[in-house]
Structure 1
Amino acid sequence: MSVFTLRNPDISLQVRTLGAEIISLRSTEGHEQIWQAGPEWPRHTPLMFPVIGRTVDDIIRHKGREYPMTQHGFARDHEFEVVDSSDSTLTLRLQDNSQTRQMYPFSFQLTTSYRLEGRTIYVRHDVANTGETDMPGSLGWHPAFMWPGHQGDTAVLEFEREEGPTIGRLDPTKVLLLKESATTPLSGKTLTLSADTFSSGALCFLNLNSRSVAFRRASGPNLTVSFPEFQHLTVWKAANADMLCLEPWYGTPSPEGFRGELADKPYQFLLSPSAQRSFSYSVALN
C-alpha cells in the first residue's frame, strides 16, 4: 500500500492505494476534514462497490449460482494500481481478478480519479464492463467528515432543494433496506443535527431532488458535497464519534427478504458489454 499527497496553495489531500481511499483533507488553515479512523468506526472514506450495504445472507445470485459478498462490496479492501499522478491529480484503477470473481462473476474495470482545484476536490469513478454479459452493480461513497464537539455543537445540513415527506430506513444490524419508511426530519431544506438525530439509525434520503448538501458546523470551515450522478444520500454517524457521514449512493442495500438475482435488485445500474458509466462528486471547503 502506498499513500499519495496532492497539494495546491489552498488544500492538501492524502489518498492511499488500498481501496483508493481518501485518508486526509486539510485546508491551509490546518483543519482536518476527514475522520481519522477512530475506535468508534475504523475507516475514513471507503468506496462501496459492487454493492452498497449488505445483501440478504451476505450472498448475491447470478444465473442460479450463489456468491459470497462482503458488506459494502470488496473494492474498499483491494489494492488499486497507480495509472497516473501529479502534484494535484491522481488516477487509480482496480481490475477484476481471481479474488473478485469468486464474489462477483463479472469482468470490470473501476478507475478512480482525483483532482484539486482551489478549495475543492473532484472525484470521478469510471465503471466499465469489460466482459461479454450484462453487468449489474451499485456504487457509493462513505466519507466521514469531522464534527468536533458533536455532543454540544448544533450543526445543520442544508439541502439544495426541498425533499419528499418520507425517508428510507435501514435495519441497524443487518444493514438491509426496510419496507417501512419514516417521516422526514427536514424542516424545509434544513436538517438540524444533534447527537439524538441518529438515535434510530441512518437517515436514507431516497430518490433525491437535491444534488448537493452543505454541512455547516460551529468549528472549522463549512463544506459542500455535490453528487450530480447519484440518486440517494444517506446521513449517518457512529455513536460517540466526532464525525458525520454524507454518503452519495447509486443503488441501495438489498431490500429485506430479497433473494432474487442480482440483476433484479432495485435501483442499481446495468451495464451492457463494453459500456461504461461515470459517477462524480466533489467536496468544497467554504
Structure 2
Amino acid sequence: MTDPITITSGNLTARIDPLGAELVSLREADGRELMTSADPAHWTGHAPLLFPIVGRLNGDVLRLDGREYPMKQHGFARRLEWEVLGAGEDAVTFVLRDSATTRETYPFAFDLAVLYELEGTTLTTTVRVGNTGPEDLPFSFGFHPAFAWPLPFGQPRDEHRITFEREEGPEVVRLEGGLIATQVPSPLQVRDLPLSDALFTNDALVWAPVASQEVTYGAAEGPRLRIAFPDTPYLGIWTQPGAQFVCIEPWHGHADPAGFSGDFRTKPGVITLPPGDEWRCTMRVTLEA
C-alpha cells in the first residue's frame, strides 16, 4: 500500500491516503487538526468518497436487469486503492478505474478521478466521473468529511453550530436502518443548527432537497469553516452521540427509500451518464478567521 501523500499551501496542510483517495488530515498553519481523530470507539472514517452509491441499498443489494449484486453501504470506492496520477506541492490527483473486482458488484466501465488542491486557506476537491463503457452509467456520488467537534480553537463543544446559506424547508428526512424513511420537523432555527448529541440519536439528518449551496461551521467566537458545495441536491449531517466529530455531507444521491426494490436505474437520486460523457462536482472547505 502507498503511504499518504501530503500537500500544503503554507496556510493549510492536507494528507490524503491512496486507500479510498481519502482525506485523512487537514491542519491549519499552527498544526491544529481540523478533521476527526477517527476514534475507533465511534467511527474510523475521515472523509470517504462515496461511489457508486450513497447510503444503503435495501438489503444491501443492487438490483439491475433482474439480477442482484451485493453492494455495501456507500459503495466500494472508499475500500479500494486508487492510482496516483500526479502530485505536486499543493495538489494531487487520484484515479480509480473499473476492474474485474468492481464489475463483480457493479457491471459498468467507469473512470473516477479526484483532484485535491490547496490555495491559501481553501481546500478544493474536484471529482470527475467518466463513462468509458458502451451503455449509460447509473451512479451516485457523495462527500463524507468528518470535522473535529469541537474545532481546535478553544470554544466549548456545545457552542458549535452549522449555519445554512439559505432558509430551508420545514421538514428533514430521517433514516431508519440506513434507509430513507419519514419526514420530521426541521431542527433549524431560521438558518442555524445548534449542534447537540440529541440531534443524532436516530441517525443522520438529511435535507432532500437542500436549497443552500454552502454552510458555515464553528462557534460564535474564533475561526470557522465554510463548506461550499455548488449544484448539490442533497445534504446529510451526522455523528454518533458523544463522538468528537460532525460529518457535513454533500450528496449527489441518497439511500434507498424504505421498501424500494426497483431497478437501480430507476432509484431516486441516481445520475445517468451517457457513454463517453463526463460528470463533475466540487466541494470547497475554507478556514475563515
Q: State the TM-score, normalizing by the size of structure 2.
A: 0.95
Moved over 4 A (4+): 149-152
| Count of residues in Structure 1 that have an aligned counterpart in Structure 2 | 283
8 Å CA contact 1:136–1:271 kept in 2: the answer is yes
8 Å CA contact 2:200–2:238 kept in 1: the answer is yes
2-structure distance, mates of 1:15, 1:133: 32
**Residue equivalent to 1:216:** 218
What is the deviation of 1:199?
2.3
2-structure distance, mates of 1:110, 1:184: 35
8 Å CA contact 1:61–1:260 kept in 2: the answer is yes
After superposition, the C-alpha distances for 1:19-54 in whole angstroms (9 at most, x for unaligned) are 000000000022201102112101110111000111
2-structure distance, mates of 1:252, 1:52: 5
**Residue equivalent to 1:4:** 5
What is the deviation of 1:162?
0.5
Percent of aligned positions that are identical: 39
1-structure distance, mates of 2:96, 2:136: 19
Q: CA RMSD in A?
A: 1.5
After superposition, the C-alpha distances for 1:195-248 in whole angstroms (9 at most, x for unaligned) are 222223211011111000000236863101100031111111112111100000
Q: Unaligned regions of 5+ residues in structure 1, if any?
A: none
8 Å CA contact 1:114–1:124 kept in 2: the answer is yes
Say yes or no: does 1:147 pair with 2:152: no
From 153, 167, 170, the equivalent of 2:172 is 167
Further displaced range: 248-257 or 143-152: 143-152
Matches within 5 A, 1:178-217: 178=181, 180-217=182-219
After superposition, the C-alpha distances for 1:158-190 in whole angstroms (9 at most, x for unaligned) are 10000001111111xx31111x20101111111
1-structure distance, mates of 2:191, 2:124: 25
Further displaced range: 95-104 or 220-229: 220-229
Q: Unaligned regions of 5+ residues in structure 2, if any?
A: none
Matches within 5 A, 1:1-286: 1-39=2-40, 40-148=42-150, 152-171=157-176, 174-178=177-181, 180-217=182-219, 221-286=223-288
8 Å CA contact 1:147–1:217 kept in 2: the answer is no
Q: State the TM-score, normalizing by the size of structure 1.
A: 0.96
8 Å CA contact 1:31–1:220 kept in 2: the answer is no
